[in-house]
Amino acid sequence: MPIDFDTPITIKGHHSQKHDEMQKYLGIREEDAIPMWVADMDFAAADCILDALRAEIDNGFLGYFGDVGPVSEAVCNWISQRHGWDAEPDWISYCHGVVAGFATALEAFSDPGDAIIVFSPVYHSFFGKARAKGREILESSLIERDGRFEMDLDALASSLTGREKILVFCSPHNPGGRLWAADEIRAVAQFCETHDLILISDEIHMDLTHPGARHIPTITAATNALPRLVVLTAASKTFNMAGGETGMVIIPDPKLRETYRKAHAALGGTPNRFGMIMIKSAMTDGGPWLDAARAYIAANFSLWHDRIGALPGIRVMNMQATYLSWVDFTDTGLSEEEISHRIGVDARIAASPGKAFGTGGALHKRFNLALPRARLVEAIERLETAFGDLQ
């Protein structure tokens, strides 16, 4: 039976940040607005996940979660089959979401006053968490060439201050949707070895490649990086279950892993019971749902790229992964305020402000395309009307 992504589900009024808090965070009226900001899909979760949750509720026990072994086995089987790398179950630590795992890694591998390297524009939570922990941020600006981002490691090397302890690598890239090539990944790993940096590889979108595209895990492209490698990932974006608040920190090196786990233990807590149940179910039986979702999202992007990219002065970055589209309004000649007004007020669409993603984000917006096709078409039509006067 085909998996249905076209039929809308009821989300508004069900404690959805994406649908119920547009007014709070973006000042956009929620009644008829289209939310395209927070990285949740507007799709129902896979039946296997919902069935697993129902079974857990029916069992009646809601205490602390223990015995993570079966979950870790499912995770290792998944990444071996999907991505060709053989992790050991003991390498995996569970955290309350990837952002929480990132914050703990900052505590484990750096001190206040140390600097963290990011390639910007990049996922906005890296900035907030690093600053909240008293770390400085060194932005290495990505270069846009032929419709995709590239790194400039020579420029980065010349900007180092000596306070850098961690390099954060977003793979696949958010917000650019870029899949990095093996030689690019090896170059980043070599850079970290040369400058004695911990390499944090955020691979939360690794499963959301578009059909025909392939994510190359950092751990397989750069085996020399294992003594300094920390991989952050989760099933939350892949299977639209971020409310389960469960991420994975995968560390191959035993000394590095012990350092992380000491920092994690200081925070206390056990894994989210429902998050763990969802992970095991998703990574055991969720493959068909995911493959259908990937194809649907890719078709959404194709439609979006062709029509929004045809508007004067607007460029849609090519993407190979994720469901988050990076759109450049620079050539419209409009100011940041004018662009935001046309999108938020005229088109009544909530999009993520590009400035939140750091240097290079001005005059850009990030749009979430994981929504039913008819709703996407409505958003496209609203934007065509809002920007239709441009020449």
Asked whether the beta carbons of 330 and 312 are under 8 A apart, the reply is no
Fold of 17-46+287-386: Aspartate Aminotransferase, domain 1 (3.90.1150)
What value does the mean pLDDT take over residues 367-380? 98
Q: Whose structure tokens read 């969802």?
A: 278
Q: How far is CA 389 from the centre of its chain?
A: 34
What value does the mean pLDDT take over residues 374-388? 97
Instruction: Determine if residue 166 is left, alpha or beta; phi over 0 gives left, psi from -120 to 50 gives alpha, anything else beta.
Output: beta
Whether cis (ω within 30° of 0) applies to the bond prior to 121 is yes
What value does the mean pLDDT take over residues 57-82? 97
Distance from C-alpha of 389 to C-alpha of 391, rounded to nearest angstrom: 6
What value does the mean pLDDT take over residues 330-346? 97
What value does the mean pLDDT take over residues 372-384? 98
Q: Is the pLDDT of residue 339 over 70?
A: yes
Q: Determine the pLDDT at residue 30.
A: 73
Predicted confidence (pLDDT) per residue in 148-200, tens digit: 999 999 999 999 999 999 999 999 999 999 999 999 999 999 999 999 999 99
The model carries a pTM of: 0.96
Asked whether the beta carbons of 208 and 297 are under 8 A apart, the reply is yes
Q: Whose structure tokens read 């191959």?
A: 252
| C-alpha to C-alpha distances, 65 to 61, 74, 242, 270, 295, nearest whole angstrom | 10, 16, 18, 7, 35
Q: Is the pLDDT of residue 353 over 70?
A: yes
Q: Determine the pLDDT at residue 2.
A: 82
| C-alpha to C-alpha distances, 117 to 198, 281, 371, nearest whole angstrom | 10, 35, 33
Write out the residue limits of the CATH 3.40.640.10 domain(s) in the chain.
62-284
In this predicted model, which residue has the larger pLDDT, 49 or 27?
Answer: 49
Fill in the DSSP letter of residue 355.
G
Asked whether the beta carbons of 169 and 139 are under 8 A apart, the reply is no
Q: Is the pLDDT of residue 220 over 80?
A: yes
Distance from C-alpha of 258 to C-alpha of 265, rounded to nearest angstrom: 10
In this predicted model, which residue has the larger pLDDT, 391 or 134?
Answer: 134
Q: Is the pLDDT of residue 268 over 90?
A: no
Q: Is the pLDDT of residue 274 over 90?
A: yes
Q: How confident is the model at residue 1 (pLDDT cuts 50, 70, 90)?
A: low
Q: Whose structure tokens read 């569970």?
A: 94
Mean pLDDT of the chain: 96
**Which of 37-46, 110-119, 261-270 has the lowest average pLDDT?**
261-270
Q: Determine the pLDDT at residue 101.
A: 97
What value does the mean pLDDT take over residues 229-249? 97
What value does the mean pLDDT take over residues 292-309? 98
Please tell us whether the domain made up of 62-284 is placed in CATH 3.40.640.10: yes
Q: Nearest 5 degrees, angle CA 254-CA 259-CA 260?
A: 95
Write out the residue limits of the CATH 3.90.1150.10 domain(s) in the chain.
17-46+287-386
Q: How far apart are the first and last CA of the chain?
A: 46
Q: Is the pLDDT of residue 321 over 90?
A: yes
How many percent of the chain have pLDDT more than 90?
95
Q: Determine the pLDDT at residue 150.
A: 98
Q: Is the pLDDT of residue 31 over 90?
A: no
